[in-house]
Amino acid sequence: MPHVRRCLTALLGVALLLANRASAEEAVCAPVAKVPLERHLRQLSLDLLGRPPTIDEYRAYQAKGSISEDDIKQMMSSEEFYARMRGYHHALLRSNISASISNPSDTRVSGTGVPKAVNTPFGFRNNTSTGLRGVNGQGCDPFIRQDICNKNPDGTDPAVVGEKTGARQDPQAEGPIAQKKCFDEQGVPLPVSFDYDTNFFTCTRLDSTDTTLDSCEKAIAAKSGGIADKDAYFCDMRLLGDNKLHPHWCKPNPDKYTSEEVLESNKVVKYTIKNNTSLTVLDRCTLDLDMKNGVKGTYATRRGCIAREGYMMKPAPFWAADPSAQVAVCAIEAQERATNPWTMESCETARFRGDRTCGCGAGMRRCEVAAVHTSRVAAINEEPDLITDSVVRNDEPYFNILTTRRSFVNGPLSQFYRQQQGVNVFSITSPANPDTIPSVGYAQEDTWQEYTRDAQHSGVLSTPSFLYRFPTQRARVNHFYEAFLCKTFVPSSDPLPPPEDNCNRENNLAKRCGCNYCHATIEPTGAHWGRYDERNALFLNPERFPRYDPKCRDCALAGDTNCGGECSQYVMQAYDGDGANSLGMLKTYLYRTSDEEANIQGGPQLLVERMLQTGDLERCTVKRIWTEFLGRPMSTEEQQMYLQDLSEDFSHSNYSLKTLIQKMLMTDAYRRID
């Protein structure tokens, strides 16, 4: 049929040009010069399998003398073909969210989990440690176990057989060992040792000429380096490269400050600073913590001090190679609370990393190491590839890739959803009840298991990969149109009205001059993703996020646009009459007509169903597969010859992608010599 249509089209053109009909028919309808068998085999092998044929394959087809449809079907049943199709869809969907996730590493911990060596317990040693311990890059004390910090350093805790405590590092400032507090009244870990911050102080080692002076008391008694009894509070024990503690005498940095001693009971308790108006006092360091703004349960380290808590022995974190091991974790990070026990603020938000009461959670699920983030991103990127692979492999209707609820998890994704990990890095709604998601061990990155997502999901269009990669409703619409409808949004070339025209001040882009040419389609179509938050992968469940929230409206009318942080998804400010009438309404409903609101409820699946009725989806798929396998777009003549027939065959085959590819590869256009 395509060959006949091609001849008729060409003959009609020749007749219109008054050319010699017989010679024209002979020229146009002559047999198409096809590539030799060997070249045909090479084309097919490269296009279907991603590799050239082997010598044995060349010989087999030479002996056979031709390549049949069954031979092409056989190629399309190989793993090489499925890998080829995964690569095609990966590029089509642009499945790479590496640049879409903001990860400042504030939830990242360092260490090896081994106690009694510098910086070996797992803990924050980045920006987060500034609020928790006083200085960026500071870990906890690796020599003191938090739960026995006030035991006799020369004895053994009867509750922990064989555990030597070594609990006193700064006895000159601590007081009697029995009075040392390891936790506050709610069990929040307190500092067990301290150092003076060298950003403010210059600290001089006191045992450099006499290594027997292994404590501040001994160094002061020997008056080493000029330190006197009155300076006892400004002596600390600090770790050096030999992994041992050494006494140091610390005084305000003379290059920055002119200071004056303040004494009480014949001991210096603070320095007043004279030449810097922003820093007037440097108090002695102690094991006590200040409260922020006087609120109990909030903590702040004293300026100029590094306050270190000890470590705890905990079960191995979720990323550990040996899940049965016990590891050392800094006592702050070892906590597992859901809320601050004093203020009742949540620990399941970004604030957990700066709240001394929260910690990393059970199995350290709220925290991570560098490799964890890499594994999660790789898994999220691969999920759409596996969804498309399952549809192609099972020869299902092709557009199931846009509508199926079926998906897959490997170890990192399984544990991410089941343990509700990734706090403060990812904002992703679990695609199903965590208990129903297959349990795959974290280390099993190459093991993928199938499961069914909740009802709101629609193929690749609701995966975290798609939602993060295309972070707004408009971006999601734009890519859907480009990838699956072969359409792009191009601004109108019509002249704009003068600047003073009221149309230019219209807040609704579907009506604003110059914008409405595209946005009259983009805005209502984008509403299909209206229940998916922007710049993340959160699903706004109607039970939690109703269309209208009276509390948010009341806050908006009172001028409280924050409303306790609970109304960020709602219209809280009015910029026009529609906005004024929509206060307290979910933002996605703003400017939507009653008909367009159905798009919000129907989600991406409704959009796919509508596009299937137009025929645009199958025609675009034919064009894209043509470009993929012929290496160029369809020409105008080829569209007239092939597009309608291939689209109809595609539809009649129940949208079998394999059938479409097979028919396309048997066309003269694929086999001819250009």
Q: What is the pLDDT of residues 333-366, one digit of tens each?
A: 999 999 999 999 999 999 999 999 999 999 999 9
Which of 1-10, 233-242, 312-321, 601-610 bottoms out in mean pLDDT, i.e. has the lowest? 1-10
Q: Tell me the β-bridge partners of 183.
A: 189
pLDDT averaged over every residue in the chain: 91
- HSE-up of residue 523 (Cα within 13 Å, Cβ side): 21
pLDDT of residue 35: 85
pLDDT of residue 455: 97
140 near 331, Cβ under 8 Å? yes
Phi, psi of 122 (to 5 degrees): -65, 130
- pLDDT value at position 673? 62
Q: Is residue 165 over pLDDT 60?
A: no
**Residue 245: what pLDDT?**
87
High-pLDDT (> 90) share of the chain, % = 80
Average pLDDT over residues 202-219: 94
Quick one: pLDDT band at residue 55, thresholds 50, 70, 90? very high
pLDDT band per the 50, 70, 90 thresholds, residue 152: low
Q: Name residues whose C-beta falls within 8 Å of residue 282's C-beta, 6 or more positions apart in sequence.
A: 200, 201, 252, 259, 270, 271, 273, 303, 304
592-650 pLDDT, tens per residue?
999 999 999 999 999 999 999 999 999 999 999 999 999 999 999 999 999 999 999 99
On whether the CB atoms of residues 421 and 415 are closer than 8 A, the answer is yes
- Per the CB < 8 A criterion, the answer to whether 640 and 43 are in contact is no
How far apart are the C-alpha atoms of 633 and 242, rounded to whole Å? 68
Rounded mean pLDDT, 179-194: 93
Q: Which helix (H) or strand (E) holds 21?
A: helix 21-28
In the block, residue with structure tokens 């109607």: 542
Model confidence at 7, pLDDT cuts 50, 70, 90, reads very low
User: What gap in Å lies between CA 506 and CA 27, rounded to an integer?
Assistant: 60
Q: Is the pLDDT of residue 5 over 60?
A: no
The Cα-based distances of 275 to 258, 259, 260 in angstroms read 6, 8, 11
Distant-in-sequence, close-in-space partners of 227: CB < 8 Å, separation ≥ 6: 206, 219, 220, 235, 249
- pTM of the shown model: 0.89
Can you list the alpha helix ranges (DSSP code H) found in 395-496?
Answer: 411-418, 464-469, 473-484
**Number of helices and strands in the chain (H, E):** 22, 14
Q: With CA atoms as reference, report the closest residue to 525 among 618, 466, 464, 598.
A: 598
Report the distance separating Cα 256 and Cα 276, nearest Å: 8
CA-based nearest residue to 628, from 40, 33, 50: 50
Place of tokens 């002249």: 495
CA distance 206 to 542: 66
Confidence of residue 497 (pLDDT cuts 50, 70, 90): confident
The residue assigned the tokens 């060298």 is 198
The pLDDT value given to residue 2: 44
Residue 154 has pLDDT above 60, yes or no: no
* 280 bridge partner residues: none
* pLDDT value at residue 674: 58
Distance CA 135, CA 301 (A): 9
